[in-house]
Amino acid sequence: MSEQPQVPFGVMLVNLGTPENPDAASVRKYLAQFLSDPRVIRVPRLLWWLILHGIILRVRPAKVARLYQTIWTDEGSPLMAISRRQQAALQTRLTALHGSEIPVELAMSYGEPSITTAGRALANRGARRILVLPLYPQYSSSTTAAVFDGLANALQRCPDLPEILFIRDYWQRDDYLQALADSVQTFWDEHGRPDRLLMSFHGIPQRYEDSGDPYPSLCRQTAAGVAAKLGLDEQQWSESFQSRFGREEWVKPYTDELLQTWGQDDAINRVDVLCPAFAADCLETLEEIEEQNKVVFLEAGGKQYHYIPCLNDQPAHIEVFANLVLERAKAWL
């Protein structure tokens, strides 16, 4: 007879990844892996290899390292530190709700801990069933599907496959939308209300959406859901897309261009920005949104600009994860 699982199942949280240190060498290593993924960059491989190694990895690492240095903490990368806290909090909450241990491990699509590392850790903790939860509320082929590819690649070397549950997305959950809305309302209770709320999502090239990636539509539905929870009319909020890279057209409207337009509008003095596509604060929120885009808005004529942090390891966020995991893994319990 085969050995019975020592725990009902394990959970693998997966986020994008981060350089180990805020220096050019670490950033170069990270970018080389990240930008080599065909899910992320859809350009003929030979052409892209020449561009990546001949230009990008020679120029960008030092620049990006300087940006990381502005947000680095005593705990290291904010993304890693927050993800570790999410991992610990979710394990504590799942164990409390279930009454016995449900192990949780953290993995990154790029860098360490890798999906292979996390999978081995769960196996060593007695998990023969694994629920994989990519920390991307809205599915995209460039993020969630990349996690699936990484998982499949890792399992190719596994002689004894575990049973797998893979969470595609969770943007439509009422508790998730409510947690976002509550975080905004809590911020407003302390700081007052803005003239506009902007919900900024990480962008993707327009041709990705044209080829069938549903991500932009899911982002727009997420923003509408949060606005509805807050009771906002269409003049009080908007969604936009940030972090474009290269010269091709990306999904619009662009966050920086919209903020510049709003800054020039005498009726819009204060803007608050929320980033519902990010489960944890990172370079794209703490540096790009909180710092760079603040300058864009204020220099265009705006008066007040506030960034509302991600849900991170807030109890309401951990509760969303715990409820999602236990609902999906009901058959294993």
Report the number of distinct structural domains present in the chain: 1
pLDDT of residue 2: 47
Residue 98 resides in a domain: no
pLDDT of residue 157: 87
Residue 287 resides in a domain: yes
- pLDDT tens by residue, 285-306: 999 999 999 999 999 999 999 9
275/298 Cα distance (integer angstroms): 19
149/109 Cα distance (integer angstroms): 9
pLDDT band at 246 (very low <50, low <70, confident <90, very high): confident
Residue 178 resides in a domain: yes
Could you tell me if 40 and 162 are in contact, meaning their C-beta atoms sit under 8 angstroms apart? Answer: no
Residue 296 resides in a domain: yes
Strand 10-17 relative to strand 129-134, pairing:
parallel
- pLDDT tens by residue, 204-233: 999 999 999 999 999 999 999 999 999 999
CATH of the domain at 190: 3.40.50.1400
Residue 81 resides in a domain: no
Residue 318 resides in a domain: no
Domain that holds residue 277: 174-308
- pLDDT tens by residue, 7-63: 999 999 999 999 999 999 999 999 999 999 999 999 999 999 999 999 999 999 999
Residue 107 resides in a domain: no
- Does residue 1 carry a pLDDT above 50? no
- pLDDT tens by residue, 140-150: 999 999 999 99
pTM assigned to the model: 0.95
Share of the chain above pLDDT 70, in %: 98
Could you tell me if 128 and 5 are in contact, meaning their C-beta atoms sit under 8 angstroms apart? Answer: yes
144/149 Cα distance (integer angstroms): 9
**Where do the DSSP E strands lie in 167-292?**
196-202, 237-242, 270-274
Residue 121 resides in a domain: no
Fill in the amino acid letter for 297.
F
